Amino acid sequence: MDEASVSLTSFVAFTYALCGTRPVLKISTEICRRLYLASGISPIGELCYTVREKPFDAVAVIEFLRQLLETFAGKLLIIWDNASIHNCAATRAFLAENPVEAARLHLVQQPTYSPELNADEQVWSQLKCVGLKNTCYRNVKELKPRLIQEMEKLKNNPELIKQFFHHPEVGFYN
């Protein structure tokens, strides 16, 4: 499980301009406007995600944990970073007040400053560097349908999701 944000302008890999002139990309003045995502993946190629217009807080993380519990069967190994929203009083209270759900969750914090160990980071790499590469949007309203389209495309590609667990830096063991 991991959270990320996507801005109106994405990774620009290439562009065109008249010979001898500098390329100019017109972007929105709403450059700080973003969409926020959380996703969870499984080694058999499943993907669960949510999109928000506000940053994730403890309440949103708990909602997403519930979504993961509804989506995936059996016990869940949740590998997440050291964000304060993961190990706050509200999250601990949720786990204490819901022992049935808590029994299905095995929560593991990855070492500090080591996002490469989480296979879910590959979701963001695929989304930002492939799916949304060379795109610019005027506002969040334009970005959201494209973002969902790219996430659905990824969700429908279990073979690619399975490969995320075999990335050389990912610290996952079957």
pLDDT in tens, 13-49: 666 678 888 776 666 555 567 899 999 999 999 999 9
Surface-to-core class of residue 42, CB atoms within 10 Å of its CB (0-12 exposed, 13-18 middle, 19+ buried): buried
Mean of the pLDDT values across residues 57-81?
94
Alpha helix (H) ranges present in 105-169? Answer: 121-126, 140-155, 158-164
Give the per-residue pLDDT at 10.
65
Average pLDDT, integer, range 108-133: 88
Q: What is the overall mean pLDDT for the chain?
A: 88
- pLDDT band with cut points at 50, 70 and 90 for residue 65: very high
Tens-digit pLDDT profile for residues 143-153: 999 999 999 99
CB 49, CB 56: distance < 8 Å? no
Please report, for the chain, the start and end positions of each structural domain, with discontinuous segments joined by +.
Answer: 2-164
Q: CB 62: neighbour CB atoms within 10 A?
A: 19
Residue 122 has pLDDT above 90, yes or no: yes
Residue 101: pLDDT above 80? yes
Query: Picking from 14-28, 48-62, 96-110, which range would have the lowest pLDDT averaged per residue?
Result: 14-28
Look up the pTM and report it. Answer: 0.85
Q: 2-164 in CATH: which number?
A: 3.30.420.10
The 10s digit of each residue's pLDDT in 131-143 is 998 888 888 899 9
